[in-house]
Structures are given as structure tokens and as C-alpha cells.
Amino acid sequence: MAQRGLLIVVEGCDRSGKSTQCENLVAQLQQSGNNAELVKFPDRTTQTGKMIDSYLQQKSDLDDHAIHLLFSANRWEAMKALSEKLNSGTTLVVDRYAFSGVAFSSAKGLDLEWCRNPDIGLLTPDIVLFLDLTIDEAEKRGGFGQERYEKRELQIKVRDEFAKLQDDTWKSVQREGSTRHLGCH
Ligand code: NYM
Ligand code: MG
């Protein structure tokens, strides 16, 4: 049987460079001879994804709890296929996962524990790479886009909520400031 692939999750606020870094990581893994694929949540191509896309583009309105559950359902419907890929030896690099779900909804004011519940039982990541960038830096990157949530005030809250979710499977990657050196502060 093939060795199981790794489930690598990449998280961060909008404009933190996740998509580029995910693509780079997949390319690097493939070049070094691994089977690797990029996965992105939300997956806007499915039925739930289309509802999410319309909500994000402000073409439709939904209750905060309802959209939270849709984001979760959008992950659940992908689990069987992802699990099969991992078991057949493919490493998956996942651009956003349940942590985004909790961080964005709790930043809007929903209870954090309530937000965690629908995602309980999803595949557990082997590592979560958190691309950290201050909101000032993020904004300098051409500003946020036009989608729902892409506002400075909310992004500041989202970054604080992400901080509450970090555990020892997380590796926070600083994306700005001076180069750091071992043994120096
Ligand atoms: N988002 C993403 C959520 O609010 N909940 C979730 O569960 C996920 C996966 O959707 N602003 C938000 C974060 C983003 C937006 O994601 C779309 P992207 O990566 O910008 O396409
Ligand atoms: Mg975005």
C-alpha cells in the first residue's frame, strides 16, 4: 500500500499570499518527486460553493449561522475524495480550511465554540502553516478586494480569532519585517 500523503493546510487573512505560496509549495513537492495536489476552500464549483460564491460577491444575503454551515458542508462534501487521495499517497496542500470558517464567523460575532462544532470530524491536518501579515501590510498589497469580509476592521478581528485557534500543529510564518537570526530578538 502507498505511504499516506500529508494534509498540509495553509491559513491566513485575505491578502496574506496564501494562493501564491500554496502553488509554490505544490510545485516544489512535485519537483522533488512527490504526488501533490492543490485544494482550495471554499470550492466554489459545487452546489454549496455556488451559494457561498454568491454570498461572498454580495449577490445574495444569508443568516450568519446559515453561511457558516454552508462553508462547513462545502468541506464535508469533499472529505471522501480527499481521504482517498491521501490514502493513495497524494499530499494535499489546502488553501483555507475549518480554521478560516471559525475565524471569519467568530470575527462577525458568532460564538467560537458554536462555530467549531460543524467541522468536528473532518480530516485532521498534519500541519497548519499560518501566513502572518499585519493588516497594514496586507492593505499595502493593492488593498483588499470587493468581496464581503474584505474590510480592514473585520480583517483585524479575523487575525485575532486565528490567534485563538493556534495549537502545536501550527507553524506561524512571518511574511514581513526584517530577517530574523537565530539567537537574536
Ligand atoms: N471564508 C472561507 C469563510 O468565511 N469561511 C470559511 O470556512 C472559508 C473556507 O471566504 N474572505 C472566507 C474567507 C475569504 C472568503 O476565500 C473566500 P478566498 O480564499 O479568498 O477565496
Ligand atoms: Mg480572498
- Cα 29 to Cα 26: distance, rounded to the nearest angstrom: 5
Query: Distance, CA 2 to ligand 1 centroid (Å)?
Result: 32
Which residue, among 10, 39, 7, has the nearest Cα to 172 in the 3D structure? 10
pLDDT score recorded for residue 139: 87
Burial class (CB in 10 A: 0-12, 13-18, 19+), 61: exposed
The binding-site residues of ligand 1, defined as CB within 6 angstroms of any ligand atom, are 14, 41-42, 56, 71, 96, 100-101, 104, 149
Q: How far apart are the first and last CA of the chain?
A: 46
Taking ligand 2, which is a single-atom ion, which protein residues have CB atoms under 5 Å away? Answer: 14
Q: What is the pLDDT of residue 166?
A: 95
> Could you give the ipTM of this predicted complex?
0.98
pLDDT, residue 141, reads 84
Q: Whose CA is nearest to atom 6 of ligand 1?
A: 101
Predicted pLDDT at 140: 86
Compute mean pLDDT per 10 residues along the chain, 185 residues long, and list them: 92 94 98 98 98 98 98 98 98 98 98 98 98 89 90 96 96 73 58
Where along the chain do its domains lie? 7-171
77 closest CA partner among 118, 37, 112, 113: 118
Taking the model in full, what pTM does it have? Answer: 0.94
Q: How many angstroms separate the alpha carbon of residue 126 from the centre of ligand 2?
A: 24
Q: How far is the CA of 41 from the centre of ligand 1 (A)?
A: 7
Domain 7-171 has CATH 3.90.110.10: no
3-class DSSP state of 79: helix
In this predicted structure, what is the pLDDT of residue 179?
Answer: 59
